[in-house]
Amino acid sequence: MSVISVKGVEKTYNLEKIPVYALRGVDLEIQEGEFTAIVGPSGSGKTTLLNIIGGLDRPSKGEVLIGNENINNLSDNKLIDFRKEHIGFVFQSFNLIPVLTAMENVEFIMMLQKRPKAERYARAKELLVEVGLSEKINKRPSELSGGQQQRVAVARALASKPTFILADEPTANLDSVSTSGLLDMMAELNQKEKITFVFSTHDQRVIDRARRVVTLIDGKIASDERR
C-alpha cells in the first residue's frame, strides 16, 4: 500500500529575482514498511523533497498525497494538525527541548494531541525502553550523549503513531558507534513494527542499510534502486 505519492513535484525559489530550480518534476511512490534513503550531492534537492513530503514546505507545482489526502489542498492550520497525527520527524540537530526531560520531550507531541496524561506517560515510557533509554527517562538533553539524544528524538517521532517517519541527515552529528546503534534500532523498528522510514542522507552507513536508494541529481530522480 502506498503511504506517500509524489506526483510531478516542482519547487522553484526566487533568489534575487533569479529562479533557482530545486526540484524538477519528481514522481515518487513510497510503500508501507519501506526503509528508503534519498541521496545525492549537496544542492540536489534531497532536503527540499523531504520538507515537501512532510508538509514543511509547499511545491510550486505538482501534488503530494499522504494516503488519500492531498496535503497541498490543506490550509496552514489543517496541515499542522495533519502533521501532528501522521508524520514523525527526526532532524540532524535533534531539536529536543532543553528544559524538558527525555520523558517530557517524548510526551510533548502527545500533549499537543491532547491525549490523557496516563496514556502519554505509558506510551513515552514504553518507547524510551524500546530505544534503550529506560535508565535515562528523567535526564535532560544536556545530560545525554548525541546518540542518546537522537534516540529520544526517534522515540518522540514514534509517539504519535505516525504513518511514516522522515529523517533528515539523522546521523550527521553522531560518531560511528552511535550511528551504528541508531541504525540498528531503526532497522529493527522497521522490520518488527513495519514502520516506514524515509531518510535524506550523505552517510554511506545509512545508504548501506537502506533497502531502497533514490538518487537525486539537479532536482530530478537519476536512479531508483530496490535491494
User: So what's the pLDDT on residue 16?
Assistant: 80
Angle at alpha carbon of residue 73, lines to 153 and 63, rounded to 5°: 80
Residue 77 pLDDT: 95
Burial of 105 (C-beta count, 10 Å sphere; 0-12/13-18/19+): buried
Yes or no: say if 133 and 152 are a contact pair by the CB < 8 Å rule.
yes
Tell me the residue type at 87: I
d(CA 163, CA 153): 16
* pLDDT of res. 59: 97
C-alpha distances (whole Å) from 40 to each of 4, 81, 168, 213, 219 are 20, 31, 13, 10, 9
CA distance 149 to 196: 21
Domain boundaries, the chain: 2-226
pTM: 0.92
- pLDDT for residue 66: 96
2-226 CATH, one of 3.40.50.2300, 3.90.1170.40, 3.40.50.300, 3.30.930.10: 3.40.50.300
Show the DSSP H helices in the chain as ranges.
46-53, 76-86, 102-112, 117-130, 146-159, 176-193, 204-209
Per-10-residue mean pLDDT of the chain, 227 residues long, equals 95 88 97 96 94 96 96 95 93 92 95 92 93 94 94 93 93 90 90 92 94 97 96
